[in-house]
Amino acid sequence: MDNKLPRVLQPSLRLYFLLLVAFALSTFLLGDYYRILAVVQMVLLIILAVYSSISAKNRTAQLLDYLESISDGMDLTIRDTPLPVLVYNSRTNEIIWSNDRFSSIAGISKPFIEKSITDIVPQFDTDWILEGKGVCPSPISVGEQLFRVYGGMVQSEREYIATTYWVDVTEYEHVSNEYEKSRPVMLILLIDNYEDIHKGVSEKEKSILSSNIDDKIVTWAGEVGGYLCRYDRDKYFFIFEERFIDGFVEDNFSILEAVRSEIGADGIPASISIGVGKDGSTMHETFRFATLGVEMALSRGGDQAVIKNRFGFEFFGGHSMQAEKSTKVKSRIMASAFGELLSDASAVFVMGHKLGDFDAIGAAAGICCIARIKKIPAKIVIDFEHNAAQPLISLLAQLPEYRDVFISEKDALIQADNKSLLAVVDTSRPDRVESESLLLSCTRIAVIDHHRRAADYISNAVLNYHEATASSASELVTEMLQYLVENKDILPGEALALLSGIVLDTKGFSVNTGGSTFDAAAFLRRVGADLAFVKQLMQTDIAVASERYEILRSVVIYTEGVAIASSHKVLNRTSVAQAADELLNIAGVHTTFAIASEGNGAVVSARSSNGFNVQVIMEKLGGGGSSSNAGVQLPNLSAEQAVSMVERAIDEYSIEEEEQRYAAERLRVEAER
């Protein structure tokens, strides 16, 4: 029986018959004598064709007998199994045999010889069975039915025969899809600046403004038929089915732009933050996801939507520049909480981001000041060779109070214990800290940061002081200092370090400043900081200046108000950042990108005065920062490739802004109707 299958699977004779017919016709055309020979040939061809047809039927019968013979040990033969069965040659995909049930669902009839399975089921993918997998990865559609296909492959001499079993899962898939689409999605909507937009206006104007915002939210939510509840003056809870979430995503949460069109007191536009929770295993987990989403939106400056599921975060909106929050309540609460953490700590270790700058070191010095007054040993973890604040580190290291404060990562890992407090300043991303090993070793972590929070933030912090509207981490620490120490306890060197951090991140108080920024600077001036000395401390040498101008020479205006400058040379990252700052001095330019090679990759520094939100653009490339100051490192890319990626990101950002405006206008028109 093992020798039968090769004889059964013989190649088609159709081509040979056609050649013989052509030969007979050509013979017929040669003349009278040859016509008799041609007739004889045609008669023989007809006899051969009849024989071939009978032989093909016999081969099919032999195949059926063979397939039944190999299933003699089973309770049911392949032909009599209740499942549709299809057997085919896995090398050529030619159908060998199928039972009546498969023929019925496929709407085909026998014989199947020389027919390909993809002729019957075009979307059938045969790779899975060749890879030795027992089941097709996705259901196969046949007509209006869906089938889950199981199968296996056996070898008989040189032939590979695949046998597949087709299980009807149409109803199951329908129920499963309906279940997925009808799962509850929870949304928390918060009016970011409720107090600010209602401040100083009459009760009538307050009522009109609130009513307009409420109408826009109700109109937007009403399209999906969910349940919307306003449970506080500035908070809404919305629950709807998951089938509608794609619509909200496609219009990029147009409600953000629609609400922004409402202008409150002093010309301040209203803004909202949205947290969406989906894919939770329980209702409680879904609600927790929504809560985390709105917290993430707020920590990134508000005016955006964040979807949180079990895998991570998705961000929408957030293109507008953040408005300063004038309240001091949060800083007082955070100062009190940080003071309590310090009182229970055996020591405090402070670190910023890799290649620590003046803001990171200044904020760290402020934490050391608080720890010194609380009589808690404090250490600043720094890479002595790779940093951007060496003049400030050298200045602080000369102070008696800072003689042994600066330590390396290795020393910190040795000295830290289970009661140590780790303070992370000027970053909230675990992959950007000075020492990832120290971050993993400590269980008590406090984060103080002013950058917009990214999806991969330090999630296990016991205290998270995150304010995206602040100019710098030094500003946040300065506000805390005022509640935890006396003015006389702050060393002039510490005040100088904090002020230098503020000056660096505000570009000399020219960008990203608010009332609290100047209040913090004024406080530091009163306790001994000298602005003239800060500027002297931040002076660069001739080599860095030359590198900066090397980048500036290549500047081009990419779009209106957006300048890009690049250099293929390997340059100091400080030079790249300074070049981005310098480009803002060009008339008509509000957004700049400076790009240069760095090691085996490229580095990008982005700045904005009153234009694009560069943090959103840098996030598209895997970076981050704040709305006016952001950057990214791109490994294994040349400067030219980095320029192309930045240009694409700018284009995507512009398209998203245009889509938001269009969606908001559409909502406004519909609301007026």
Q: What is the CATH number of the domain that holds 156?
A: 3.30.450.20
What average pLDDT does range 546-570 have in this prediction?
A: 87
Helix (H) or strand (E) holding 540, with range, is: none
48 & 152 share domain: no
Whether residue 18 lies inside any domain: the answer is yes
Q: In the predicted model, is pLDDT for residue 520 greater than 90?
A: yes
Angle at the Cα of 318 from the Cα atoms of 316 and 200, rounded to 5 degrees? 130
Same domain, 361 and 509: yes
Which of these ranges, 122-126, 234-238, 386-390, 424-428, has the smallest mean pLDDT? Answer: 122-126
What value does the mean pLDDT of the chain take?
A: 84
Of 17, 43, 69, the position where a domain reaches its end is 69
- Of the listed ranges 298-312, 364-378, 489-503, the one predicted with least confidence: 298-312
Which residues lie below 8 Å from residue 522, measured CB to CB, with a gap of 6+? none
| pLDDT exceeds 80 at position 318 | no
What's the mean pLDDT in 511-526? 90
Residue that wins the pLDDT comparison between 1 and 319: 319
Q: Choose among 441, 415, 419, 424: nearest CA to 344.
A: 419
**Residue 317's beta-bridge partner residues?**
304
* Greater pLDDT, 621 or 47: 621
Domain boundary (517, 537, 557) is at 537
Give residue 264's pLDDT.
83
Using 50, 70 and 90 to split pLDDT, how confident is the model at 548? confident
Shared domain for 308 and 449, answered yes or no, is no
Q: How is residue 589 written in tokens? A: 């330019």
Tokens representing 556 are 């081009």
In this prediction, residue 551 has a pLDDT band, given cuts at 50, 70 and 90, of confident
Say yes or no to pLDDT of 326 above 60: no
For residue 213, give the CATH number of its domain: 3.30.70
Residues 27 and 115 in one domain: no
- As a dihedral over the C-alpha atoms of residue 500, residue 502, residue 507, residue 508, rounded to 10 degrees, the angle is -70
Residue 301 has pLDDT above 80, yes or no: no
Overall average pLDDT of the 511-519 stretch: 86
Q: Does the structure show a pLDDT above 60 at 7?
A: no
What are the phi and psi torsion angles at 430 (to 5°)?
Answer: -65, -25
The CATH number linked to 396 is 3.90.1640.10
Q: What is the pLDDT of residue 507?
A: 83
Model confidence pLDDT, tens digit, residues 432-461? 899 999 999 999 999 999 887 877 889 888
Question: What pLDDT shows up at residue 669?
Answer: 67
What is the structure's pLDDT at 482? Answer: 93
Q: Is residue 521 part of a domain?
A: yes
Residue 481 has pLDDT above 50, yes or no: yes
Measured between alpha carbons, how far is residue 415 from residues 344, 405, 406, 407, 456 in Å? 17, 12, 13, 10, 28
Least confident of 344-348, 541-545, 612-616: 541-545
| Inside any domain, residue 672 | no
Cα 627-628-633 angle, rounded to 5 deg: 85
Res 479: pLDDT = 94
Task: Tell which of 317, 338, 372 closes a domain.
Answer: 317
User: Which contacts of 18-26 are long-range, i.e. CB under 8 A and separated by 24 or more positions?
Assistant: 20/45, 21/45
Burial tier of 253 (Cβ tally within 10 Å: 0-12, 13-18, 19+)? buried
Q: pLDDT tens, 245-254?
A: 999 998 889 8
**Of 590, 588, 570, which is closest to residue 580 (Cα–Cα)?**
590
Band the pLDDT of 11: cuts 50, 70, 90: low
Q: Which residue reads 């009760």 in tokens?
A: 203
Which of these, 463, 436, 435, 439, lies nearest to 449 by C-alpha position? Answer: 463
Residues 568 and 486 in one domain: no
Query: Whole-angstrom Cα distance, residue 179 to residue 183?
Result: 6
Residues 488 and 514 grouped into a single domain? yes
Q: How many domains does the chain have?
A: 5
Same domain? 259 vs 129: no
pLDDT tens track for 126-156: 788 887 788 888 888 888 888 998 988 877 6
Q: How far apart are CA 380 and CA 341, in angstroms?
A: 17
Q: Domain residues for 552? A: 542-660
| Pair (508, 554) in one structural domain | no
| Domain membership flag for residue 667 | no
Q: What are the pLDDT digits (tens) for 205-225?
A: 889 999 999 999 999 998 888
What pTM value is reported for the model?
0.66
191 is a domain residue: no
The answer on pLDDT for 17 being more than 70 is no
pLDDT over 70 percentage in the chain: 87
Residue 105 lies in a domain: yes
Mean pLDDT of 508-533: 89
Q: How confident is the model at residue 502 (pLDDT cuts 50, 70, 90)?
A: very high
Band (pLDDT 50/70/90 cuts) for residue 2 is very low
> pLDDT at position 75, please?
42
Task: Return the higher-pLDDT residue of 188 and 119.
Answer: 188
Between CA 491 and CA 468 the distance in angstroms is 28
Residues 551 and 650 in one domain: yes
Q: DSSP label at 586?
A: S
pLDDT of residue 69 exceeding 60, the answer is no
In this structure, are residues 91 and 159 in contact, taking their beta carbons and an 8 Å threshold? yes
Position 284 pLDDT exceeds 60: yes
Q: Are 425 and 348 in contact (CB under 8 A)?
A: no
For residue 427, the model assigns a pLDDT of: 93
Specify if 188 maps to a domain. no
- CATH code: domain of residue 644: 3.10.310.30
More reliable by pLDDT, 619 or 81: 619
Report the distance separating Cα 451 and Cα 631, nearest Å.
11
Tell me the pLDDT tens digit for each residue of 464-478. Answer: 898 888 899 999 999
What CA–CA distance (Å, rounded) separates 353 from 428? 9
4-26 average pLDDT score: 61
94 and 204 belong to one structural domain? no
Q: How confident is the model at residue 10 (pLDDT cuts 50, 70, 90)?
A: low
pLDDT of residue 4: 46
Same domain, 526 and 403: yes
> Quick one: 312 and 333 in the same domain?
no
Whether residue 575 lies inside any domain: the answer is yes
Confidence band of 74 (pLDDT split at 50, 70, 90): very low
pLDDT digits (tens, 9 = 90+) for 597-613: 887 889 999 998 876 78
